[in-house]
Structure 1
Amino acid sequence: MVQARRWWVLATVSAGLLLISLDVTILYTALPTLTADLDADASAKLWIINAYPLVMAGLLLGAGTLGDRVGHKRMFLTGLVLFGAASTLAAFAPSAAVLIGARAFLAVGAAAMMPATLALVRITFDDERERGIAIGIWGTVAVVGAALGPVAGGLLLAHFWWGSVFLVNVPVVLAALVATAVLAPGGSGSKDRPWDPVASVQVMAGLVGLVYAIKEGARPEPDPVHIVAALLVSASGFTVFVRRQRTRTYPLIDFALFRNRQLLAGVLGAGLSMFATAGVELILAQRLQLVLGLSPLHAGLVVASSAVGAIPAGVVVGGLVYRVPARHLIGGGLLVGALGVVLTLLLTPGIGPLLDAGRAAGWVVPGVILTGLGLGAVMTAASAAIIGGAPPHRAGMASSVEEVSFELGSLTGVAVLGSVLTAVYTATVDLPAGTPEAASDSIDEARAVAGELPPDGSRSLLESAAAAFDNGYTLTLVISVAVLAAGGVAARLLLGHRTATATPEEDETPGGGPDDAGAVTGTPPSHR
């Protein structure tokens, strides 16, 4: 392909990837505004955020295989159409339930696009050196998109209504549709490659059941019957999925891959890095707006400062990943991320012992940057470890595992930490006498109720709600520190000696596993 055209194809698929990444985090700063406008309760808030990564994680494995069958250009174009339609529906959603449905629909388009973006890069770039550069740019775009989400949300809300955070996707989708149709290489795919939609339904049932159980458990008065039923659905879904994969000639996941310690450590690093990133950024963005009263744009700029650490860390680690042992990059990065969350907590005005409540919110920025530095390094190293830990003929499957690891990490981070925040708030809020009970559901409800009270009652309620929210904020950050620290130790132990668990087939394949020191070997991340 003509050189200039190759790079235009990269720009086109990167635009699609940017939209996918932006929509993971763009609601972090828009959530308080749309929650008030749609009268969404605490549970609906979490579903609005989680519907997107939940559905995407369930569909990604099958979407990659379907792309092999029908052609990746066709999958990318289809994904763009679905993404544009869902964005329009979300922008004008009249209720929280419709918005949740639109976010799930949005995830269907994202799942169709995501594997196709990397596959089209692989097909377009024949030269290995150029392909490595292109994949590095691809990965940086994903990080930049996630980092810019809160800022983009805040900037749009400063001038438009909350639906603009979705409507902004539409012109980008239209431009990408035209560019893809003209520039991207075609191909009808391989009709003999099977597609397994049943497996996608099974894993989706497992994920939905698990998330529902977590959210129900965090309610003020959880229903044990609902929790048990959800856990049974989850366990059943995952169980039948695993059994089905073990009997398929072309499984979505070959579980023998996880015998490779390098790949397993990469999955661990990818999931935990996104667990902390998604959970901490969402909760920090809410505190900046709901407790400190910052504008969405100001809150977005503070949260997005993580990119100051994450982007250069990702670039540097991308150059080191084939020379430095993976246990140092993944294990060390998780530990640095844990230190960053500790620093964020210590520098949060009114929370830590160092700064009183009157200090500016910007004091948390050094902690946020350090967190981004550590976890940005982990994301790059984890991607290389997952791809490098699989034999070449499993590269496509490993890419799907990589993408699902990140989405599951984001999903569980928001679900677990968001539910903990809600539970602690409800358990510790001290409502002034005569305050409606609805104020105990969430700080959003408390602020809405406070607007209807006399000045003294309003002030007392807001102070009590802020104190209860800060209790939850503190605990969620402590949990994040513990999870990252434990993950860092586990990754170093996992890669602390020569991997002896690769399958014979992997041992015979060049680049199929780590070397003696646990460094990543094989080719840079690629797809199919």
Structure 2
Amino acid sequence: MLVEHFWWGAAFLINVPIAVAALVLTLVYVPDHAGNKDKKWDFTGSVQIMIAMVTLIYAIKEFARRDGSPTFATIGAVIGVVALIIFIRRQLRSSNPLLDLSLFKISPFTTGFITALVGLFGQLGIQYIVTQRLQLVEGFGPLQAGLITLSIPVAALIAGPLVGKMLYRYDVIRIKSFSLLLAALGTMVYLFQFDSSIPGQILGLALLGAGLGAGMTAASHSIMSYAPPEKAGMTASIEEMAYELGGASGIAIIGSISGLVYTLAMKIPAGIQVPANVKDSLDEALLVAEGLPVQASEALKEAGRTAFDESFFAILVWVTVFFAVTSLVIGLVGARSKQRETRV
């Protein structure tokens, strides 16, 4: 609704009252705990991981750009990998690590981190391109598109508490595996319905949201419950890192791959002279089409929408497989964990 009547940045303002309310409630209800003065903040490690994440995401986006520089992308990738290796080596050797990597030896903790990372990666990435398609291809306004994609968080809101009641009755790793499998099913349903009826699209998005909501609940439980109590602050930071890294990389990677496939699939109709930027994105093509004669305009719009749908289809297939494979991996980790417990 904000985007419908104001500029796009107004959408972020809705978070301000929520953040203020959260801050006030935290100060009132959350107990105050004294910090450990003996532990020092690893500033060097923070800089290393920041450099690694920024340069790796830059490399991905630069590789995917139509006129991107392979040289700069390669340099960025090399710097990112080197910074990440240095960061990991530093954490393994440090007596007071920024991130205690030994926590990842705990199977429920590791699968929780993976579920949170993959879940947010898929959710924000899919929401990003679905919202684009609903507006640029289907012709819906921001409010209508928002109401359709609202099915994802609503389903997650319902599934989360329901799964919360199952966490102490069933194996938590299996719950995470099943949750991602449900997300894969939802993405697959949407894959076959995105060019069909709105109820079919909502069904697919709702199944996706239910799977991710269930997975996030189980992931949060695993991360916070299976780590030592004295490392609660660190584990909370790791959980938040999984969410932030997953969300940011999801938008960056899925958006970049979508743009790359669109560029490769976009065929400019014969006889139409247009700038090269129409192959960058569908919105660029639609803007250029507004200044063309009617017949040429409609031909360019159709070519752009066809290319967008090709990239959209490819992304949905890839994300579906990604969810399914991750679900399988988590299930195998859970099975091996059970075998080790049985031997002991």
Q: Give me the TM-score of the superposition, normalised by structure 1.
A: 0.61
CA RMSD of aligned residues (A): 2.2
Give me the whole-angstrom Cα distance separating, in 2, the residues matched to 1:170 and 1:379. Answer: 24
Q: Classify the secondary structure of the residue corresponding to 1:430.
A: coil
1:361 Cα deviation after fit: 3.6
Q: 1:363 aligns with which of 190, 200, 204?
A: 200
Q: Does 1:344 align with 2:196?
A: no
1:316 and 1:446, CA in 2 relative to 1: closer, same or farther beyond 3 A?
Answer: same
Match of 1:439 in 2: 278
Q: 1:477 aligns with which of 316, 327, 336?
A: 316
Match of 1:4 in 2: none
Q: Classify the secondary structure of the residue corresponding to 1:209.
A: helix
Q: 2:333 aligns with which of 481, 494, 498?
A: 494
Q: Does 1:468 align with 2:314?
A: no
1:159 and 1:212, CA in 2 relative to 1: closer, same or farther beyond 3 A?
Answer: same
1:348 Cα deviation after fit: 1.1
Amino acid at match of 2:234: M
Q: Does 1:195 align with 2:195?
A: no
Q: 1:333 aligns with which of 179, 191, 215?
A: 179
Give me the whole-angstrom Cα distance separating, in 2, the residues matched to 1:171 and 1:370. Answer: 30
Q: 1:289 aligns with which of 127, 135, 151?
A: 135
Give me the whole-angstrom Cα distance separating, in 2, the residues matched to 1:230 and 1:500. Answer: 42
Amino acid at match of 1:459: E
Match of 2:231 in 1: 394
1:424 Cα deviation after fit: 0.8
Amino acid at match of 1:220: R
Q: Percent identity?
A: 39
Give me the whole-angstrom Cα distance separating, in 1, the residues matched to 2:106 and 2:9. Answer: 45
Give me the whole-angstrom Cα distance separating, in 2, the residues matched to 1:171 and 1:270. Answer: 26
Q: Does 1:235 align with 2:235?
A: no
1:302 touches 1:362 (CA, 8 Å); kept in 2?
no
Q: Classify the secondary structure of the residue corresponding to 1:495.
A: helix
> Where in structure 2 are the equivalents of 1:73-152 lying within 5 Å?
none
| Alignment size in residue pairs | 341
Q: 1:451 aligns with which of 290, 293, 299?
A: 290
> Where in structure 2 are the equivalents of 1:304-319 lying within 5 Å?
304-319=150-165
Q: Classify the secondary structure of the residue corresponding to 1:320.
A: coil
1:262 touches 1:499 (CA, 8 Å); kept in 2?
no
> Where in structure 2 are the equivalents of 1:250-261 lying within 5 Å?
250-261=96-107
1:173 and 1:378, CA in 2 relative to 1: closer, same or farther beyond 3 A?
Answer: closer
> Where in structure 2 are the equivalents of 1:25-104 lying within 5 Å?
none
1:221 Cα deviation after fit: 3.6
Amino acid at match of 1:383: S
Q: Deviations over 1:278-305 (max 9, x none)?
A: 1111110100001111010110111110
1:376 and 1:189, CA in 2 relative to 1: closer, same or farther beyond 3 A?
Answer: same
Amino acid at match of 1:496: A
Q: Deviations over 1:9-59 (max 9, x none)?
A: xxxxxxxxxxxxxxxxxxxxxxxxxxxxxxxxxxxxxxxxxxxxxxxxxxx
Match of 1:380 in 2: 217
Q: Deviations over 1:304-328 (max 9, x none)?
A: 1012321121101111112201232
Give me the whole-angstrom Cα distance separating, in 2, the residues matched to 1:413 and 1:434. Answer: 35
1:441 and 1:237, CA in 2 relative to 1: closer, same or farther beyond 3 A?
Answer: same
2:46 touches 2:98 (CA, 8 Å); kept in 1?
no
1:187 Cα deviation after fit: 6.4
1:260 touches 1:499 (CA, 8 Å); kept in 2?
no
Give me the whole-angstrom Cα distance separating, in 1, the residues matched to 2:107 and 2:252. Answer: 28
Gap runs ≥5 in structure 1: 1-154, 350-354, 502-514, 517-528
Q: 2:148 aligns with which of 287, 299, 302?
A: 302
Amino acid at match of 1:434: Q
Give me the whole-angstrom Cα distance separating, in 2, the residues matched to 1:323 and 1:174. Answer: 37
Give me the whole-angstrom Cα distance separating, in 1, the residues matched to 2:27 and 2:249. Answer: 36
Amino acid at match of 2:256: S
1:179 Cα deviation after fit: 6.5
Match of 1:421 in 2: 258
Give me the whole-angstrom Cα distance separating, in 2, the residues matched to 1:187 and 1:326. Answer: 29
Amino acid at match of 2:72: H
Match of 1:320 in 2: 166
Give me the whole-angstrom Cα distance separating, in 1, the residues matched to 2:29 and 2:221. Answer: 28
> Where in structure 2 are the equivalents of 1:405-420 lying within 5 Å?
405-420=242-257
2:117 touches 2:242 (CA, 8 Å); kept in 1?
yes
Q: Give me the TM-score of the superposition, normalised by structure 2.
A: 0.92
1:164 Cα deviation after fit: 2.1
Amino acid at match of 1:334: L
Amino acid at match of 1:491: I
2:156 touches 2:210 (CA, 8 Å); kept in 1?
yes
Gap runs ≥5 in structure 2: none
